Every structure is written in structure tokens, then in C-alpha cells.
């Protein structure tokens, strides 16, 4: 569609309630309350679907997050890119998630974005900005890049690399800041200062990231994961956490051990055009993040005072 028309449609204030006749589970129902916005609804309708059994509070949160996301430049341009890609609908649903705010489930025919129900207890004034960032992280970071990677024949390789999380993190942070959030989270702050140090720290946040590979590790994934496995014991105090990380690393190592073809495809991925595009996108997003006015140091993370209170579940 005409990007100018889309921009004009989005520049308008978005609705706060659904027209009575709109089906509750469609993106169009969120946006199609005027002819100007119908163009945007047309782009996204059928691509993004709220789960049919969503509760009322989940629907309210989702619609507000989506409206906020589509008001941001990064959210808008990536939503257009998402709508242009082939692929079935992505279902958005809520679950009780431990440890994380959301996740993207990328399986052909069953693509879904899952958001944690903890989000629903956030203060409403913060929920739209943070919700928009989280939805962008999962949908326009992970899901969009996964669909592109799968189309390029490197879906597994992309998902096995830390670039997936670095990119999604940047997309979410940009949308949150463009939506008006005033604080740079500690991860984004660290990424701006020193990407290698950020990535080294990121890999210990979740077992899923611990098995993910950085550029320099693609040539010898087994060596990299063995080195990580050797650090697990000294890294964590609790046996449960050691077990979680240790098991994930051992399982990935066993898999790589049994699949020389996968090891080769990871080595090849380092020079793959899709990987180079991801790296270029990350560089551009980092540059964009630098241009967004940083808050004064006293307002930046580590969070304290108002920001910490706002982020804590209520
Ligand atoms: Zn993520």
C-alpha cells in the first residue's frame, strides 16, 4: 500500500474502544473505526489474530499495546514489512510464564506470540509503552526475522544464533522509547556501551541464550559450548540453575555431536547473505538507538525510585 497513506492513517489518534459490530479477535477490530485507518487494518488483518479464548483484560492490554506500537516509526515500518511477508496468521495469546515477559513460537502453520499474564498487573500508564515494546520484541523482532530466515532456508541456523535475541531486544527497546518510555533498560545501556560484553552477559541470562552462538563461535560451536558448560558450576549458586543451564548445554552438544551436517551449516551461515543482513540491521538499529535522546544519568538504570516501582508487578 501507499506508505504515505499508511502514515497519515497512523498519525491519527487510535480508538480506545471497539466499534460494536467488529469481531473481537481481529486486528481490524482494533483499528477499523474510520476510513483512514481501514488501510492499515487491511495490511494487518488476518496476519495477526488474538486468541479466540482471550480474556477481557488480555484483549484490552493487547489492543492498547498494538495501538501504541503502531504509532511508533520503528513499529510501523516493521509492521509493514511483517504484513508484506508470506505466511499464515500469527496468534497472540496470554499464558502464565515464568522468568520471561513473552516468547515467540515459530513453527510453520502454528506461529504464535505468547505474552505473560504478569503484564496485566502493570500500572496502565506504563503498560501501553512496555506492552508495545514487548509485542514488538516478539512479533517484529523474533517472529519477523524467523519468517525471513525460514524463507531464506536458514531458519534453524538463525534461531541458533544470539543475533536473534540481540535484534529482537533492539526492536523492542526502540519501540518502547519511541512510544515515550523515558528509561534505557540496563541491557540496552550495556549494548550501546560494549556489544561483546553485553553478549557475553546475555548468554548467562537464560539457558536458551546459553546455547546460542555468537559470530566468532560459528566455526567451532562444540568448542564454544563445551567452554560454556565448564563455567556453569562456578557461575550459579543454586543447584537448580546449574542443572537448567548444564542440561541445555549438554543437549545441544549431543545434538551437534550427532549432526556433522548441522555443524557444517552453522559454519556456512557465518557468510550467508541473511546473516549479513541481520548484522547490518543490528548496526542500523544501534545507530537509531544512539540518536534517541538518552535520559539524564540519574534517571537511567539501574532502575530506582519511580521507574522501579513502575516496572514491579502490581
Ligand atoms: Zn527475545
pLDDT in tens, 296-310: 555 555 544 444 444
Flag whether 279 is in a domain: yes
Flag whether 243 is in a domain: yes
Q: Are 160 and 266 in contact (CB under 8 A)?
A: yes
Flag whether 206 is in a domain: yes
Side by side, the strands of the sheet bearing 112-116 are 48-50, 90-95, 112-116, 102-105
Flag whether 249 is in a domain: yes
Question: Which residues contact residue 283 at a Cβ distance below 8 angstroms, ignoring those fewer than 6 apart?
Answer: none
Instruction: Give distance in angstroms: CA of 219 to centre of ligand 1.
Output: 24
Phi-psi region of 157 (alpha: psi -120 to 50; beta: other; left: phi over 0): alpha
Q: Does pLDDT of 289 surpass 90?
A: yes
Domain that holds residue 273: 47-311
Flag whether 40 is in a domain: no
Instruction: Give distance in angstroms: CA of 256 to centre of ligand 1.
Output: 23
Flag whether 261 is in a domain: yes
Instruction: Give distance in angstroms: CA of 20 to centre of ligand 1.
Output: 35
Instruction: Give distance in angstroms: CA of 115 to centre of ligand 1.
Output: 12
Flag whether 22 is in a domain: no
* Tens-place pLDDT, residues 110-154: 899 999 998 888 887 788 899 999 999 999 999 999 999 999 999
- At residue 39, the pLDDT reads 59
pLDDT-derived band at 165 (thresholds 50, 70, 90) equals very high
Q: Is 95 helix (H, G, I), strand (E, B) or coil?
A: strand
How confident is the prediction for the chain on average, in pLDDT? 82
CA distance 122 to 152: 38
Instruction: Give distance in angstroms: CA of 101 to centre of ligand 1.
Output: 9
Number of domains in the chain: 1
Flag whether 122 is in a domain: yes
Instruction: Give distance in angstroms: CA of 4 to centre of ligand 1.
Output: 31
* Tens-place pLDDT, residues 222-262: 999 999 999 999 999 999 999 999 999 999 999 999 999 99
Least confident of 178-182, 249-253, 279-283: 178-182
Amino acid at each position: 500500500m501507499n506508505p504515505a497513506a499508511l502514515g497519515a492513517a497512523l498519525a491519527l489518534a487510535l480508538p480506545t474502544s471497539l466499534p460494536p459490530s467488529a469481531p473481537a479477535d481481529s486486528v481490524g477490530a482494533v483499528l477499523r473505526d474510520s476510513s483512514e485507518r481501514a488501510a492499515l487494518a487491511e495490511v494487518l488483518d488476518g496476519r495477526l489474530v488474538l486468541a479466540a479464548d482471550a480474556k477481557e483484560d488480555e484483549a484490552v492490554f493487547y489492543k492498547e499495546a498494538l495501538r501504541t506500537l503502531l504509532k511508533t516509526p520503528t513499529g510501523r515500518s516493521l509492521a509493514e514489512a511483517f504484513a508484506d511477508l508470506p505466511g499464515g496468521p500469527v496468534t497472540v495469546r496470554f499464558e502464565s510464564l515464568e522468568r520471561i515477559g513473552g516468547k515467540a513460537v515459530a513453527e510453520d502453520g502454528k506461529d504464535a506470540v505468547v505474552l505473560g499474564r504478569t503484564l496485566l498487573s502493570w500500572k496502565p500508564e506504563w503498560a501501553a509503552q512496555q506492552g508495545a515494546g514487548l509485542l514488538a520484541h516478539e512479533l517484529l523482532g523474533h517472529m519477523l526475522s524467523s519468517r525471513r530466515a525460514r524463507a531464506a532456508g536458514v531458519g534453524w541456523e538463525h534461531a541458533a544464533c544470539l543475533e536473534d535475541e540481540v535484534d529482537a531486544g533492539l526492536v523492542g527497546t526502540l519501540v518502547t522509547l519511541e512510544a515515550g518510555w523515558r528509561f534505557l533498560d540496563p541491557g540496552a545501556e550495556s549494548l550501546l556501551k560494549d556489544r561483546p560484553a553485553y553478549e557475553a552477559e546475555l548468554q548467562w541470562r537464560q539457558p536458551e541464550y546459553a546455547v546460542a552462538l555468537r559470530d566468532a563461535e560459528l566455526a567451532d560451536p562444540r568448542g564454544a559450548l563445551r567452554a560454556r558448560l565448564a563455567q556453569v558450576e562456578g557461575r550459579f549458586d543454586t543447584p537448580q540453575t546449574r542443572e537448567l543451564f548444564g542440561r541445555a548445554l549438554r543437549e545441544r552438544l549431543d545434538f551437534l555431536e550427532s549432526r556433522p551436517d548441522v555443524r557444517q551449516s552453522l559454519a556456512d551461515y557465518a557468510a550467508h547473505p541473511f546473516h549479513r543482513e541481520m548484522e547490518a540491521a543490528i548496526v542500523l538499529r544501534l545507530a537509531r538507538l544512539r540518536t534517541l535522546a538518552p535520559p539524564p544519568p540519574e534517571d537511567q538504570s539501574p532502575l530506582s525510585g519511580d521507574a522501579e516501582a513502575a516496572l514491579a508487578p502490581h
